[in-house]
């Protein structure tokens, strides 16, 4: 028990920063994001602003998908329709919610559309790196309830600010096709390679007895099982539990979790880590399906009491990644909103 606790505390050592100055950090991040969202909206024309702006309670805030724009009608203002200054303000908003690494990753996912266009010739989808949309819900402020969304093919990021605090960024979907560029000047490029490698490294680090618990199926599902469902429930508690892992394996599991958290801004990531540390970390489970060999169809998930990570790489000859962070009760900030409204009078 002592060694397990030391791993948790060691991995989440940065929580000291949160405990000492969390509110100041959160308010600074909210102010940065609020300023970026306001500047973005101000840079738009009246018609563009009407496309990008929604009431906070609008049902549109709960819409979610990661397929191409042609397959799922989206509302918001598209990058393709912005001028140079407006695009700069839009990217400032995007940067306000992402780490530097996360912003680079999201940009690279968008750039893969150019590669798909070259591979497919635009026969079915436009495959345009500018076919991504921004939507703002409510009025950006430092102390109110509002949110924003950035979405298009293989990207769906949902930010909710509740009472001046940034709630969890969920759903948070990122995909990559191709997962690995096979030829040309970008050969070897793997936009989400860290998600694949961290999962495979963990399952390979398990001994045979542990692998029998962790590997739940010899075949991987064709896609993430939660798809784009708005409401999700925990899966059956199968796979290997963190309490059944050795110290180095537990560290690898939490490093895998951190790969997903590292996309968002530091303050948001620390906020989520603090919640994870405060929950039943011993109940987290890791499950794998499919081959553990590179280039073969595979799937994994990490499930805790409040969150779910799903990753799948089976399509296009196991060279097409779908991955997502979901919250069972916190997607779209729902649990934060409920807690906030139960404690703060609203008129």
pLDDT in tens, 273-321: 888 887 768 899 999 999 999 999 999 999 999 999 999 999 999 999 9
Which of the four pLDDT bands, split at 50, 70 and 90, describes residue 14?
Answer: very low
**Residue ranges of E strands in 72-167:** 77-78, 133-137, 146-152, 155-162, 165-166
- What distance in Å separates the CA atoms of residue 131 and residue 80, rounded to the nearest whole number? 6
Q: What are the pLDDT digits (tens) for 207-238?
A: 999 999 999 999 999 999 999 999 999 999 99
CB atoms within 10 A of CB 345: 5
d(CA 103, CA 139): 24
Residue 198 host element (H or E):
helix 193-205
Q: What share of the chain is helix, strand, coil (3-state, %, to 5)?
A: 45, 20, 35
Whether the predicted pLDDT of 1 surpasses 80: no
Q: How confident is the model at residue 185 (pLDDT cuts 50, 70, 90)?
A: confident
Judge whether residue 177 has pLDDT over 50: yes
pLDDT at 344: 61
Q: Percent of the chain beyond pLDDT 70?
A: 90
- What value does the CA radius of gyration of the chain take, rounded to a whole number of Å? 20
Burial class of residue 107, CB neighbours in 10 A (0-12, 13-18, 19+): middle
pLDDT of residue 17 exceeding 50: no
Q: Which residues pair with 289 in a beta bridge?
A: 217, 299
Name the residue ranges covered by the structural domains of the chain: 2-343
Whether residue 178 is preceded by a cis peptide bond, meaning omega within 30 degrees of 0, is yes
Report the greatest alpha carbon distance in the chain: 62
Give the separation between CA 45 and CA 252, rounded to whole angstroms.
48
**What is the structure's pLDDT at 165?**
86
Give the closest residue to 160 by CA, choosing from 173, 146, 176: 146
Write out 227-289 in H/E/C secondary structure: CCCCCCCCCCCCCEEHHHCCHHHHHHHHHHHHHHHCCECHHHHHHHHHHHHHCCHHHCEEEEE
- With 90 as the cut, is the pLDDT of residue 244 above it? yes
pLDDT, tens digit, for every residue of 36-87?
A: 999 999 999 999 999 999 999 999 999 999 999 999 999 999 999 999 999 9
Residue 150 forms beta bridges with which residues?
A: 134, 157
The percentage of the chain sitting over the pLDDT mark of 90, rounded to a whole number, equals: 78
Check residue 136 and give its pLDDT. Answer: 98
């Amino acid at each position: 028990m002592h060694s397990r606790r030391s791993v948790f505390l060691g991995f989440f050592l940065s929580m000291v920063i949160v405990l000492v100055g969390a509110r100041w950090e959160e308010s600074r991040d909210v102010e940065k994001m609020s300023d970026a969202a306001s500047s973005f909206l101000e840079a738009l024309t009246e018609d563009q602003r009407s496309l990008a702006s929604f009431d906070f309670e609008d049902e549109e805030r709960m819409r979610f998908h990661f397929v191409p724009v042609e397959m799922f009608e989206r509302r918001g203002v598209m990058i393709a329709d912005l001028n140079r200054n407006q695009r700069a303000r839009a990217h400032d908003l995007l940067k306000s919610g992402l780490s530097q690494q996360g912003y680079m990753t999201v940009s690279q996912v968008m750039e893969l559309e150019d590669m798909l266009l070259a591979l497919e010739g635009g026969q079915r989808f436009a495959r345009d790196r500018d076919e991504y949309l921004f939507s703002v819900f409510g009025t950006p402020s430092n102390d109110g309830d509002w949110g924003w969304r950035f979405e298009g093919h293989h990207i769906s990021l949902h930010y909710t600010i509740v009472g001046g605090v940034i709630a969890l960024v969920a759903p948070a979907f990122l995909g990559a096709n191709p997962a690995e560029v096979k030829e040309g000047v970008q050969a070897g490029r793997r936009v989400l390679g860290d998600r694949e490698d961290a999962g495979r490294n963990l399952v390979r680090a398990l001994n045979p007895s542990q692998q029998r618990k962790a590997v739940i199926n010899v075949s991987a599902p064709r896609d993430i099982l939660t798809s784009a469902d708005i409401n999700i429930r925990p899966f059956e508690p199968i796979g290997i539990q963190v309490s059944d892992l050795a110290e180095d394996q537990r560290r690898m599991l939490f490093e895998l979790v951190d790969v997903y958290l590292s996309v968002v801004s530091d303050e948001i990531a620390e906020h989520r880590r603090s919640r994870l540390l405060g929950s039943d970390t011993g109940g987290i489970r890791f499950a794998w399906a499919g081959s553990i060999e590179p280039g073969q169809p595979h799937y994994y998930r990490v499930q805790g009491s409040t969150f779910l990570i799903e990753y799948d790489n089976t399509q296009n000859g196991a060279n097409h990644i779908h991955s997502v962070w979901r919250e069972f009760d916190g997607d779209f900030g729902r649990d934060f909103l409920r807690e906030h409204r139960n404690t703060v009078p609203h008129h």
